[in-house]
Amino acid sequence: MKVKITADSTCDLPREFIERYGIGVLPMYIIRDGVALRDGIDINADDMYEYTKRTGQLCSTAAVTVSDYAAAWTEWLRDADAIVHIGFSSELSVSCNNARLAAEDFENVTVVDSLNLSTGFGHLVLDAAIMAGEGAEPAEIAAAIERLVPKTDVSFVLNTLDYLRKGGRCTTIQALGANLLGLKPCIEVHEGKMGVAKKYRGKIEAAYHQYIRDRLQGRDDIDLRRVFITDSGLPEDVRARLRETVLECQPFKEVYNNRAGCTISGHCGPWCMGVLYYHK
């Protein structure tokens, strides 16, 4: 049986994996000046930053629609026997629920809620695709991914709260206080929802390295197969130093630096970074 794995663009997987495993990616929508643009196709994160810098306004986001899912799955099922769709956290978007509604019209589509975002979500999509490539059945894949959901460790450090403030996710007073104090909050995903885990002070790169050590150093409960170091736009020399610190803390077999797409970047702003991995 040929099983195709699909997800929306918020999984932030590097293009190499999408192409290697034939993952079907449905773009989220970015709304700019009332026009719906497709994440990563019609617009990228740098375009969004430029727009915000020029206008003082944020682009907004919109979920993949029920009809989008139905149309894409119908096309992909011409070459596949079944689809397992891994959805962006239902606690953060209606995209997963839209996928579930669309799946009601298909006997061979299974939807799994990742309860995750960005490459925390991407880990699950990638492992599902690997299983599909090895010939696993849809039910087997879905069950395995559901078991992995609570094992994901997803967090990131923000350089600024301005984007969350503009997007209505924190108050002006909170943002002003954090900015005046030089605080760099660490946001952690737990059971699909975001919350503040810790706050760092000082320059952002120093905060990154302390955050990495706090998350990784001296721990024996980490699955060392793979880690994503995901950012919303960093220079390559900074990326290289982050990679070195990660490997000083834990000997991961696979380490990937990658850039977040429009959905995450638009809510978090530039110079956001996180390390995302599994627990044992």
> 58: pLDDT confidence band, cut at 50, 70 and 90?
confident
Tally of CA atoms within 13 A in the half-sphere of 273 that contains its CB? 27
3-state DSSP of the chain: CCEEEEEEHHHCCCHHHHHHHCCEEECCEEEECCEEEEECCCECHHHHHHHHHHHCCCCEEECCCHHHHHHHHHHHCCCCCEEEEEECCCCCCCHHHHHHHHHCCCCCEEEEECCCCHHHHHHHHHHHHHHHHCCCCHHHHHHHHHHHHHHEECEEECCCCHHHHHCCCCCHHHHHHHHHHCEEEEEEEECCEEEEEEEEECCHHHHHHHHHHHHHCCCCCEEEEEEEEEECCCCHHHHHHHHHHHHHHCCCCEEEEEECCHHHHHHHCCCCEEEEEEEC
Domains, the chain: 3-28+63-149 (3.40.50.10170), 154-279 (3.30.1180.10)
Tell me the per-residue pLDDT of 196-229, one tens digit each, with 9 for 90 and over. 788 888 889 999 999 999 999 999 999 999 999 9
Q: Return d(Cα 196, Cα 121) in angstroms, integer.
A: 19
Among 27-31, 58-62, 178-182, top mean pLDDT goes to 27-31
Tell me the per-residue pLDDT of 109-127, one tens digit each, with 9 for 90 and over. 999 999 999 999 999 999 9
Q: Return d(Cα 23, Cα 30) in angstroms, integer.
A: 21
Residue 175 pLDDT = 40
Residue 76 clears pLDDT 70, i.e. is over it = yes
Residue 171 pLDDT = 40
Average pLDDT score over the chain: 91
Residue 103 pLDDT = 97
Residue 163 pLDDT = 56
Residue 268 clears pLDDT 60, i.e. is over it = yes
> 252: pLDDT confidence band, cut at 50, 70 and 90?
very high
Tell me the per-residue pLDDT of 189-199, one tens digit each, with 9 for 90 and over. 888 887 778 88
User: Model's pTM, two decimal places?
Assistant: 0.92
Residue 161 pLDDT = 67
Residue 50 pLDDT = 93
Residue 28 clears pLDDT 90, i.e. is over it = yes
